[in-house]
Amino acid sequence: MIGSGPDHTPWPAEDAARYRALGYWQGQTFGRWLTGLATAYASRTAVVGESPATRTQVRWTYSELDERAHRLAAGFAGRGIRAGDRVIVQLPNIPEFLEVIFGLWRLGAWPVFALPAHRHTELKHFAEHAEAAAIVTVGEHERHDYAAAARAVADEVPTLRDVFVVGTDEFAAMEAAEPIDLPDPDPAGVAFLQLSGGSTGLPKLIPRTHDDYLYSVRESARICRLRPDSVYLVALPVAHNYPMSSPGVLGVLHAGATVVLSPRPDADTAFRLIEAERVTISAVVPPLAAAWVQAAGRTTRDLSSLEVLLVGGAKCGRELAERIGPALGCRLQQVFGMAEGLVFYTRLDDPDELVLSTQGRPISLDDEIRVVNPDDPEASSDDVVEPGQAGALLTRGPYTIRGYYRAAEHNAKAFTRDGFYRTGDLVRFHPSGHVEVVGRVKEQINRGGEKVAPEEVENHLMAHPEVLDAAVVGVADEYLGERTCAYVVPVEDAKPAEADLRRFVRERGVAAFKIPDRVVVVDHFPVTGVGKTSKRELRAVLAAQAKEG
Ligand code: J2J
């Protein structure tokens, strides 16, 4: 695919002109933006977190963060990183994450955001697909040697020239480089590649521009009412689109507020930081919200500073939604977003009923929304359902991509002819304009906010010599919303054990959340009228089994 057609699909010129005229796209770059923030909020604390370099909690002001980014940009340049280079960033929740991404942005290099959970297979795919020049990572962390894993990928991918390891002397030397003059990148150009949850084979890469992303960040900060004295706890992995931008660390910086990075999402760690740093706002996925709600009942920590808890990434059920405010003493804000762009929020002054039962309204008046025939995967943007009916959500707007990176074939299916993104979500709209996510039309399993593409896992299982065919489906789960169940048809006379198959997938080097929660070996799959494996029937079998208890 590489080399065949454009790497990414820009907005049509007339739309781009309109977004500029409306003030959405301001011609700002991340690098200049940070320098502006450092001028406005110089001595205020930008970020608090545990640095692997000092193994202590550090606090950097806006001026310090800006200076660090200038120096590190020069450090990267000195090591041969150039504007337009793709650089995989795989970092846990450490303050250097911000220094690294702003350093790369200043250079005009593109961060490719990997998650700490990603392993060999995923990193190699990102590196190959983006023809990445380098990986920035840490050493040993949470019992995984990230540096060794990155070097193993670099050994296999010829474009990877370097592995930079935060916390080493070598990295410290790059951080100490003398700042250099660098030309500002094009604000309308790609700033970074974010990952898609994916519904087919391997995760797609999402090209976001300075202009479009900064618009969503500014508006998110406003909608979430961030102020200079807000303190935002990053409980989820910071490189994910949600804690990065909804309103996330970037929204927090926009407001001149403080980012507190939690090394882990669990309630003990988070509550300790909420108390110590007087955290006012945080963002979680529903299973984590449930865990915090439960832990709040027996904590001795003072959580009284917490004003808002954003919940999103997966559907927040009504029951959980009702318990959050009373248990944590804060306001619930639902958020429904996607790394491709479009984000909905309930507003802080919305009536309680809408906050509890909907996922909110879009960020922008110019988010174009269509709810179309859910039974036709190729439905056009005109094929809309009756108002108030459930249908497949399509969108187009000032911060939603028009195509994935280097994915012409996939783009033809994932976008309509007139540029609407097929979100794959099944929604219905209330008369108030609030959306309710009622299901999915895409082949994706949402495992408590972590997205699993069944086809990707099926391909791993099918690489096993004893597996003839595999079908992965989601099973309803009280805690995660959904778990994965893999059905496997063995080759003749083989009897692969469930534990072996799970180990096999793990050993192929994939994120732990993709390893099937359950594997069931069967003789054959139910088939549809046209002879395709019927996942609908497999799901029905599981549902019936669950009912039987
Ligand atoms: C139901 N499904 C939801 C919700 C996301 C903010 C918040 C979340 C993401 C995210 C994000 C949901 N109820 N409240 O990027 O900026 C499912 C939908 C959606 C997919 C996108 C952000 N919130 N989802 O989760 O790219 O199916 O982004 O299409 O990881 O998550 O997943 P992702």
pLDDT(197) > 90: no
Write out pLDDT tens, residues 308-340: 999 999 999 999 999 999 999 999 999 999 999
DSSP per-residue codes, 236-290: S-TTSHHHHHSSHHHHHHHTT-EEEE-SS-SHHHHHHHHHHHT--EEEE-HHHHH
Nearest-angstrom CA–CA distance, 482 and 430: 26
Which is more confidently placed, 545 or 98? 98
User: Can you name the residues that pair with 61 across neighbouring β-strands?
Assistant: 45
CA 454 to centroid of ligand 1, rounded, Å: 17
Write out pLDDT tens, residues 157-194: 999 999 999 999 999 999 999 999 999 999 999 999 99
DSSP per-residue codes, 450-508: EEE-HHHHHHHHHTSTTEEEEEEEEEEETTTEEEEEEEEEEPTT----HHHHHHHHHHT
Q: Which amino acid is present at 156?
A: E
pLDDT of residue 2: 39
pLDDT(546) > 80: no
pLDDT(4) > 70: no
Share of the chain above pLDDT 70, in %: 99
Confidence of residue 549 (pLDDT cuts 50, 70, 90): low
Q: Count how many Cα atoms sit within 13 Å of the Cα of residue 215 in the half-sphere of its side chain.
A: 27
The backbone torsions φ and ψ at residue 237, rounded to the nearest 5 degrees and listed phi first, read -60, 120
- CB 241 near ligand 1, within 6 Å: yes
What's the rounded mean pLDDT across residues 413-425? 98
Share of the chain above pLDDT 90, in %: 93
Domains 29-212 and 445-548 share a fold: no
Q: List Cα–Cα distances, 491 to 467, 522, 523, in angstroms.
A: 6, 11, 9
- CB 421 near ligand 1, within 6 Å: no
Q: What is the residue whose two structure tokens read 């700002």?
A: 28
Secondary structure (3-state) at 294: helix
State the CATH class of domain 445-548: alpha beta
Which ligand 1 atom is nearest residue 310's CA? 7
Write out pLDDT tens, residues 111-120: 999 999 999 9
Which ligand 1 atom is nearest residue 245's CA? 16
- Considering only CA atoms, which of 188, 55, 34 is closest in space to residue 104? 34
Looking at residue 390, what DSSP letter applies? -
Which ligand 1 atom is nearest residue 244's CA? 16
- Considering only CA atoms, which of 388, 391, 390 is closest in space to residue 380? 391
Range scoring the smallest mean pLDDT among 331-340, 382-391, 536-545: 536-545
Write out pLDDT tens, residues 245-272: 999 999 999 999 999 999 999 999 999 9
ipTM of the complex: 1.00
pLDDT of residue 101: 98
Q: List Cα–Cα distances, 239 to 171, 235, 245, 255, 547, in angstroms.
A: 20, 11, 10, 19, 38
What's the rounded mean pLDDT across residues 516-534? 88
CATH fold for domain 29-212: Rossmann fold (3.40.50)
pLDDT(200) > 80: no
What's the rounded mean pLDDT across residues 29-53? 98
Q: Computed over its alpha carbons, how large is the radius of gyration of the chain?
A: 23
pLDDT of residue 173: 98
Write out pLDDT tens, residues 442-462: 999 999 999 999 999 999 999
Pocket test for ligand 1, best of 195, 238, 242 (most atoms within 8 A of CB): 242
Range scoring the smallest mean pLDDT among 111-125, 196-210, 220-234, 522-536: 522-536
CATH fold for domain 366-442: Luciferase; domain 3 (2.30.38)
Contact (Cβ atoms closer than 8 angstroms) between residue 218 and residue 109: no
Pocket test for ligand 1, best of 240, 338, 367, 420 (most atoms within 8 A of CB): 338
Residue ranges of the domains in the chain? 29-212, 366-442, 445-548
Q: Which amino acid is present at 411?
A: N
pLDDT of residue 3: 40
pTM over 0.95, yes/no: yes
- Considering only CA atoms, which of 366, 382, 339 is closest in space to residue 15? 366
User: Can you name the residues that pair with 144 across neighbouring β-strands?
Assistant: 141
User: Can you name the residues that pair with 312 across neighbouring β-strands?
Assistant: 335
Strand ranges across the sheet with 467-477? 467-477, 481-490, 518-521
Nearest-angstrom CA–CA distance, 161 and 146: 17
pLDDT of residue 514: 96
Q: What is the residue whose two structure tokens read 């063995």?
A: 490
Q: Taking all residues of the chain, what is their mean pLDDT, rounded to a whole number?
A: 96
- CB 337 near ligand 1, within 6 Å: yes
Nearest-angstrom CA–CA distance, 255 and 483: 37
pLDDT of residue 195: 96
- The Cα diameter of the chain in Å comes to 71
Which ligand 1 atom is nearest residue 334's CA? 14
pLDDT(1) > 80: no
Write out pLDDT tens, residues 343-374: 999 999 999 999 999 999 999 999 999 999 99
